[in-house]
Chains A and B, each alone.
Chain A
């Protein structure tokens, strides 16, 4: 299994009495694009934050064999105080011997790769629309040519057309870099477009893993209910306020 880029073994994470991850097992091969699907509050973001080292698991092992990562956050997480090009070239600017002029040139190239004009480079995040912020976030994620890309709900809050544009950009960026990609989403259209394999997270565990074709044929009732977007089935959404 030397081709594994990311591996999670029996990962547990709880916040107080609330168990969020309850033994997550998942292996992602080099160059593969895996999408984790699951309802809100099932631990998708916590899984991602554990892999990134932003949260420490209570139990279990996470192996990461990558060198450089790029991450597109749900709200883009652009730095308000920096211009668009400074955001895109943030990591590039930290490299020894890098000048601001050279970094700006790289930023403009990356912005072009995500379909943004050079004029955007000097704007500030507050001046951009949601879709443009996501594109800038993607440009920042790919700026250092990472071998592993993470996407946190990349299409949330976007209209269907812009969602499709972002999905295409993600697919193209991953292919161009030859990177391993891990995406978390509950947008099935996005998942089917981006993924080589899809994993479903439910009650803190990966309950199903398969390809997009296998997803359409599976008889797993949890997956079928989630893909159909039906309220009837084994998954019961908690609608009562915690008290």
Chain B
């Protein structure tokens, strides 16, 4: 086996496959199962200050080439969810707490609590495409985003990752802004905003009408975003979007990602997908005479 270890800021990962936010991370049991299935790190679902039910169903549908969802950021609130994170304190696998809020003050409160409950890093969700006042609405405001990141960096010592959206025109500018605010890594990309209309009723199927598209179809979009950021901004990148196989992950590493996140592929290949992808990465690296992952990162532009 080749060395699949990777580093993102202060985090050491035994392998580069992380569980993406919002998938199988409802509680300690589901996250533990993903760890047992080989995930190199876990990103929690996005957590806010207060309990939030999210949207009514349909919230998730599977289309020809990907999955469309509009959950609406359901979560039990940080004080309740914190217990699920705390219950994972014995694991050696890094736990990254995903958080969302509408302003810097609430983001700071959440980040401090995440650190307190034992998270090894925080991931700022400033890119959810379907929640009013949150997510992408926050991430599209450059000065607010800078204020959020700087405020958090002054208050916690664990790394701060920022998950960004592909639904923006000025991607590199936003990435540079994130880097300037001292964030430790960029996670690219969140889902692509989309819609599915039922022909018989003439209605959008998702209760929220629009949602975020993930899975195989969005991989080229993610690859392009990672590549553009890696070429222009000196910051570690975690690639996410449509990674289903080891070769998909390799492509993201070549584009400049130091690690990858996996979500929809759990639908396509089951929870064991982490082990499968690691095995496939290992096979590919050996076949192409690489000794470790580091030699591969950024190969597409170096």
Same assembly: no
